[in-house]
Amino acid sequence: VDFFFFGNGSKSRANNVNMMITEPSRILRYKFIVSGRDFDTNLGNAMVIPPVPFVEWRRYCCRAKVNLNVVREEHAKIFATSTFRPFELAAMKCCIVSAPYNGIEKWFEVGKEILVGNSMKECLEIYQTLIDDEELRMKIGMAALNRVKKEHTSRHRARQIIDIINRCKT
C-alpha cells in the first residue's frame, strides 16, 4: 500500500478528498486505499475497501508507506481543534501527510514530524518525494512518534487537567 486513508464520511471532507486522493490517484501510478463508511464522492483511481475492523486498523496503517490525514473542513478551520487521527498515526510511527489544519503546528513540527499539502500540486510533490525516499518516510514517522511520547500521551493530558483544576482552586 502506498497511500492509506481511513475515515467515515466524505461530505465535510470533499475538497480535501479531491486534493489528497481523487486527483492524485488519477495522476500518480501508486496504490491509494480508502477504507471507511459514507464515501459518496468520486475517489478517482483509489481502491475502496470495506471498513477496516479496529483490530486490523493498525496493520493497515503500518503497512502503508504514507498515511493521509484528510481533515474534515470544519475541524481544519477552527484553531487547534483536537482530532485524534494525527496522534494515533504518529503513535504508530506512521509517515503522515495532512490536509491544511489551522493549529496543527501546536502539536507537530510541520516539515519534520508531519507534512502538510496545501494544494493538489503540493500533495503530488510531497507524495513523489516520499515514495522515492524510504529513509525520509522512516525519519518523519520516528520524529512524529518521539513528539507524541514527549508531549501527547494520556499522562500528559491528565497532568494538564490536574494543573487546570489546581489553578481553578486558587
Helix (H) or strand (E) holding 98: strand 96-98
Identify which has the larger pLDDT, 21 or 42: 21
- Helices H / strands E in the chain, number of each: 8, 6
Beta pairing, strands 3-6 & 32-35: parallel
C-alpha–C-alpha distance, residues 95 and 118, integer Å: 17
- What local confidence, expressed as pLDDT, does residue 79 receive? 78
Question: What average pLDDT does this structure show over 108-112?
Answer: 97
Position 59, amino acid: R
Neighbours of 63 (CB within 10 A): 10
Look up the pTM and report it: 0.91
Residue 82 pLDDT grade (very low, low, confident, very high; cuts 50, 70, 90): low
- What local confidence, expressed as pLDDT, does residue 161 receive? 87
Please classify residue 108 by burial: count the beta carbons closer than 10 Å to its beta carbon, then call 0-12 exposed, 13-18 middle and 19+ buried.
buried
Q: Is the sign of the CA dihedral 167, 85, 16, 142 positive or negative?
A: positive
pLDDT for 170 beyond 80: no
Rounded to an integer, what is the distance from CA 14 to the centroid of its chain? 16
Query: Per-residue pLDDT tens for 135-166?
Result: 999 999 999 999 999 988 888 778 888 888 98
